[in-house]
Structure 1
Amino acid sequence: MTASEPTATGRSLVLEAAGVRAEVGTVAAVLRGLTVHGVAVTEPLPADSPPPMAAGIVLAPWPNRVRDGVWVLDGERQQLDITEVSRSNAIHGLLRNTDYEVRARAADAVTLGALIPPQHGWPFLLDTWVRYALRPDGLSVTHGVVNHSGRPAPYAVGAHPYFRIGETPVEQLRLTVAATTYYEVDARMNPVAEHSVAGTPYDLRAGAPLADLTLDTPFGGVVPGVAAQLIAPDGARVELIQEPGWHYVQVFTARDFPRPQGRGLAVALEPMTAPPDALNSGAGLRRLEPGERWEGRWTVRYVPGASSS
């Protein structure tokens, strides 16, 4: 593994082994790029500017949004800082601008860690980490936490990768999502109801062309296994595999994702252990007792198509 001088995304850490290459930045533990045998399976990100549209960052101690940044702890109102000003929400946790420390490193793996100290609306001390480890067909990502507070702490985690399949235009890809429910959201992107996907345009279990989809949608009812995948015309695919405890995935189709050649369609498939506004609903939240430790993992797997075999 090699490391570079600091940039807007922190120090760049490059992992390489057996034809698989990942680049990680220490700010927000961002996944800046992943290629498998020369095929880009995530949108490559520049080092000299913040990740566009939260691309590749770690979302902890909650993913997605907290409505108005307000939640209640043991009957006491908590007010988080508003970080999505246009919608008056607290979004994507408390580590978006944190420079993680490197805690372990090897040619094919790196572990980054960051403390979440007590702050506005968050009276807990958590130690968190994320381990990126190459595998022959992609990357495994393990998130961990330990509660150093003197009281139980709520916790959820997610990530925000944008996927692609090499040079295949994203518009030509097909998306499947192995979810049984979706969340209806309001104009501020906060959930108002959970519905079955059956008989709705949100039933993507059989797949649909990405070009036909406009989504910024949380999905639930995800069982361990392939939560979502992109499929190219030649059969090549990128799979997002979620392990037990990861029952939610957010799908976001960004029509104006910035690339060097110009803006265009990109798709984020965001593994999550809890849905939006979980600090209020309690759905998917873990209750970490003092001293309790937890780890959970998701994986990216690339499967070549007929033209690559």
Structure 2
Amino acid sequence: MTAAPTGGQYHLRHAGPDGVVEAVVTEVAAGIRELRVAGFDLTEPFDVDQAPPGADGIVLVPWPNRVAGGTWELDGVTQQLDVSEPKYGNASHGLLRFAPYRTVSQTESSIEQEATVHPQHGWPFTLETRVHHELVDDGIRVTHTITNRSGVRAPFAVGAHPYLRAGDTPAEDLVVTLDAATAFSTNEQKVPDGSFDVTGTDSDLRGGRRAGDSDLDTAYTDIAADQDGVRRTTLHGPEGDGVELWQDESFPYVQVFTSRTFPRGDGTGLAVAVEPMTAPANALNSGEGLRWLEPDETWTGTWGIRRVWS
């Protein structure tokens, strides 16, 4: 029997008031392979015999997105990470993208997994990471925990890479809404080289923008939050039903990516990734959003995906 590229498959189920909530979480990269409420898909599923297309659903740690050239400086010494994105010459999506996680605990509706980031090329630290996926009445809640086991102060950032879906609505017809005032511009390496007020630009999603009319691979900040510090990105179809990604105050950034190379049947098509992040791309160099943990210090942050109704 051929092993799945994403390792073990953990099937979760929760009987909610609006129907059964189901998810499949993977051993490799602690990813979300499927998520639906009452048969209504909230994420782009992929087959068990596939690797996650376009990093679909995976956890990004100890940095999301890119590190320019794979290099950064630590106490005056240049660190060289492995270049995992040869097309642009960057280190991309952290160090656990292809790593298996260990199961800590599991119930019918939840699973907690852990993995260790060990010292390696360009990364002289040890971080213990945990990811807790829990189904709730309208979707899923994901909690990340990072503990520094290095013996010295250590940096990190965290992200996730789900592609959202609103049932059977074609991705082209989804309207993306995000109340964010600032976006990051990027250079030829897709690395931030500045920021700008989105007002009057094609990056302004505050009034909603049709995904099929958008060309985005854009990080946002200055995102409006509710009284609990929660920030929200919604995708909805013409009838109003949709999906929302929410992130707590620990995740002040989000990347919106309209990929036109997502596998669709025998070809490719549009899919929309909404990626909660604690820091934007290249944080190891810019320092923006980068967090530092003292030895044995722990950080926790939470985000989730939920179904929304018209």
Please state which band the TM-score falls in when normalised by the shorter chain.
Answer: over 0.9
Q: How does 1:61-210 map to 2 (within 5 A)?
A: 61-210=62-211
Amino acid in the other structure paired with 1:98:
A
Instruction: Confirm or deny: 8 A CA contact 2:96 2:117 kept in the other structure.
Output: yes
Which residue in 1 is equivalent to 2:11? 14
- Using the size of structure 1 for normalisation, the TM-score is 0.95
1:255 aligned to 2:252?
Answer: no
Deviations 1:252-278 (A, max 9, x none): 101121033642110000000000000
Instruction: Confirm or deny: 8 A CA contact 1:172 1:232 kept in the other structure.
Output: yes
The Cα shift of 1:231 comes to: 1.1
Deviations 1:201-247 (A, max 9, x none): 21111111111101111111224334311011111121111101211
Instruction: Confirm or deny: 8 A CA contact 2:171 2:211 kept in the other structure.
Output: yes
Amino acid in the other structure paired with 1:120:
H
The Cα shift of 1:125 comes to: 0.5
Task: Give 3-state SS (helix, strand or coil) of 1:283's partner.
Answer: coil
The Cα shift of 1:199 comes to: 2.4
How far apart in 1 are the matches of 2:160 and 2:56? Answer: 9
Length, aligned pairs only:
302
Report the identity percentage.
Answer: 48
How far apart in 2 are the matches of 1:69 and 1:187? Answer: 15
Task: Give 3-state SS (helix, strand or coil) of 1:188's partner.
Answer: coil
Which residue in 2 is equivalent to 1:264? 269
How far apart in 1 are the matches of 2:165 and 2:231? Answer: 16
How far apart in 2 are the matches of 1:171 and 1:259? Answer: 13
Deviations 1:79-102 (A, max 9, x none): 100000111000000001101111
Task: Give 3-state SS (helix, strand or coil) of 2:238's partner.
Answer: coil
How far apart in 1 are the matches of 2:308 and 2:234? Answer: 11
User: Alignment partner for residue 296 of structure 1, among 277, 292, 301?
Assistant: 301
Task: Give 3-state SS (helix, strand or coil) of 1:193's partner.
Answer: strand
Task: Give 3-state SS (helix, strand or coil) of 1:44's partner.
Answer: coil
Amino acid in the other structure paired with 1:230:
L
Instruction: Confirm or deny: 8 A CA contact 2:167 2:242 kept in the other structure.
Output: no
Which residue in 1 is equivalent to 2:289? 284
The Cα shift of 1:7 comes to: 1.2
Which residue in 1 is equivalent to 2:212? 211
Deviations 1:27-48 (A, max 9, x none): 1111101001110010001221
Which residue in 1 is equivalent to 2:235? 230
How far apart in 2 are the matches of 1:21 and 1:264? Answer: 25
Instruction: Confirm or deny: 8 A CA contact 1:5 1:11 kept in the other structure.
Output: no
Amino acid in the other structure paired with 1:63:
P
How far apart in 2 are the matches of 1:6 and 1:196? Answer: 47
RMSD: 1.3
The Cα shift of 1:24 comes to: 0.8
How far apart in 2 are the matches of 1:190 and 1:226? Answer: 24
How far apart in 2 are the matches of 1:242 and 1:5? Answer: 36
Which residue in 2 is equivalent to 1:244? 249
Q: Which runs of 4+ in 1 moved over 6 A?
A: none
